[in-house]
Structure 1
Amino acid sequence: MAWGNRSVLTNIALLAYPSSPGLRFLFFLAVSLVYTFIISGNVLIVVSIRTEARLHTPMYCFLGSLSGVEICYTAVVVPHILASTLQSGRTISLLGCAAQMVFFIGLGSADCFLLVAMAYDRYVAICHPLQYPVIVTSALCMRLVVASVVIGLLLSLQLAAFIFSLPFCRSRGIEHFFCDVPPVMRLVCADSHIHEHSVLTAATLAIAVPFFLIAASYACIVATVLKIRSAAGRRRAFSTCSSHLTVVLLQYGCCAFVYLRPNSSYRPKQDQFISLVYTLGTPLLNPLIYTLRNSEMKGAIGRLLSRNCLSQNLQDRGGYHLSGVSSVPAT
């Protein structure tokens, strides 16, 4: 990217933050609480899957990887949002804006690709149950996870390189909380229609194509489940997919609304709200959906918390006894 001739635009002002100190404090408090729940919930899922032997299966490998990606995904923008809320001058450097966009879009795309891998896992488990242990191996899971992250970051790197190679206008402010594609594209002075098509093509690769793959896998799953004669078997098969399908609709619904549309339909206030939904809401709801609707995950998290509480109690009692022994006078 030709950073040398970017002297006109070296910093980008983030204009979406509340101007009132009271509103800024409430905004900071709300985002902090949600971010704490996001990190806590996803860390609990990752640690529970890691420590529980019975959860060392492909489905939970994908779920743990999804939670790990979402921890990184929110860490790209939320700490910066919190810091900017408390600052008087809320700006970000051009290079920092590009880096933020690369990792935010890249990890968000990895999220979408991981949901495709999880749909494939469910497809093989329900449509080809006898071949499942042979097809979906631990090695395949790791390759799909790595491929999801690498492809997502490569796509976002190319997209950011393209956007930041365009000429920007003298206006240096975006009506947003962080550097996302739609508000940054509003700074471009060149022919917007040509560049919009390029951005829509990248968004289609990262959003529409994976969604159609998920839809195709679920069409096969539904066709297979409807052939099951037992009503209990059908309920069990659908229950294993319902959590994943709920997350898919949340993730792809928000992403499609923001990225699969022309730049002319951009509405700052509306997009600010939607951006908070897919930046904070979806990573917050994912752990809740997967734990509340999954008895194995609830049991694993409960056992993890019980072990930690028991260990802490033993340490406290041990410290008390030691302090009591040390206080006995020598005879």
Structure 2
Amino acid sequence: MGKRAAKESACTSLYELENNLTKVKEFFLLGFQGGQSLHISLFCLLQVVYCGTICGNFLIIILVSTSKILHTPMYFFISQLSIGDILLITNIAPNMFYVLLSDGASMTFAGCITQFYFFDGTEASECLLLAVMSYDRYVAICNPLRYSSIMTSTYSLKLAMISWILGFSITLLDTITISMLIFCGSNIIDHFFCDFLPLLELSCSDTFIVQLEVFLLSIPSIFIPTLIIFYCYVNIVLAVLRIPSSTGRQKAFSTCSSHLIVVSIFYWTLFSVYVVPTKRQTLTISKILSLLYTFFTPLVNPIIYSFRNKDIQKAAFDMIHKRLI
């Protein structure tokens, strides 16, 4: 009788062990290691960044929607980028604030996968939007006589819709594949949100197929947009250099300088984390770089477009003037 009970107990333990190995119900996000003072300081700083990002990007969306001088394809795409920045930071910030104040926090498996999907989808869509914006500047500078006939409002809307739909469709395939992985052992994610690389590190499955799929899907969402941006700006530079007067060259290049700065910041952080991470890159450095493109890049984008653009400044001044009268 004792042997039978021991055998049944062993079978039950084995069943429970298999269940634990194949079904992780939640993950634990560590966030940033450090004392409580560091967490509170970081919480206050990121709260200011979050509020500034939401206000700045909403201001651009409102200005583009209401001001007639901003009813052009270029400003329409800038407003779409602002929508992406709001989605990106809002997807990450609330849970990160809780992680900072709680010195780490649990997140359900479904919640983690959902956060990853919206993060990845927004990033992919922004890559495509930046490529569309570079194409818009390419047509404006290299083919100015046909600009109004090519970049119509209908065509601009179609390009924006394709960017959003394609971005979230590609990442849906990534998300479904990752959600089907087996997670076992540790459920601790040493990060402040559910990202691709930390999730792969926790999986007990063979991740080669997943990595191959992600690489192939990144071709239309990251690498092709990068090539489009590179091609457009090479032609823009060549066209600008052919302008005889220095004033004309400066005026032509000023129309795309803000976009070029935004592209440089976005791709520098993105490639540093995912494409060419250095061997000496620690988890802390990786988190800081992730913090740059999830929090500070969405804040910087509206600042760059506002400070370097007279049309947006004029539209903002007119709106404030109307409110005060």
Query: What is the one-letter code of the residue matched to 2:273?
Result: V
Aligned to 1:287: 302
Aligned to 1:85: 100
Deviates most, 228-237 or 204-213: 204-213
Residue among 187, 211, 232 paired with 1:196: 211
Aligned to 2:191: 176
CA shift digits 1:187-229 (9 cap, x unpaired): 1223344433332333343222211110001111112111111
Aligned to 1:212: 227
Report the CA distance shift for 1:125/1:89 in structure 2 as closer, same or farther (over 3 A).
closer
Report the CA distance shift for 1:134/1:6 in structure 2 as closer, same or farther (over 3 A).
farther
Distance 1:221 1:303 in 2: 32
Aligned to 1:12: 27
Structure 2 counterparts to residues 1-331 of structure 1, below 5 A: 8-18=23-33, 20-87=35-102, 90-261=105-276, 267-308=282-323, 310=324
Query: What is the one-letter code of the residue matched to 2:188?
Result: G
Report the CA distance shift for 1:65/1:239 in structure 2 as closer, same or farther (over 3 A).
same
Query: What is the one-letter code of the residue matched to 2:120?
Result: I
Distance 1:280 1:89 in 2: 19
How much does 1:84 deviate? 2.6
Unaligned segments of structure 1, at least 5 residues: 312-331
CA shift digits 1:240-264 (9 cap, x unpaired): 1111011011111111122224898
Contact 1:200 1:259 in 2 (8 A): no
Determine which structure has the larger helix proportion and give its number: 2
Contact 1:101 1:156 in 2 (8 A): no
Percent of matched pairs sharing the same residue: 37
Contact 2:31 2:104 in 1 (8 A): no
Deviates most, 222-231 or 94-103: 222-231
Unaligned segments of structure 2, at least 5 residues: 1-18
How much does 1:290 deviate? 0.6
Deviates most, 258-267 or 133-142: 258-267
Provide the aligned C-alpha RMSD in A. Answer: 2.0
Report the CA distance shift for 1:203/1:260 in structure 2 as closer, same or farther (over 3 A).
farther
SS in 2 for 1:169: coil
CA shift digits 1:233-286 (9 cap, x unpaired): 111111111110110111111111222248988732111111100001111110
Contact 2:23 2:182 in 1 (8 A): no
SS in 1 for 2:202: coil
Which 4+ stretches in 1 moved above 6 angstroms?
A: 262-266
Distance 2:256 2:101 in 1: 42
How much does 1:183 deviate? 1.1
Report the CA distance shift for 1:88/1:257 in structure 2 as closer, same or farther (over 3 A).
closer
SS in 1 for 2:299: helix
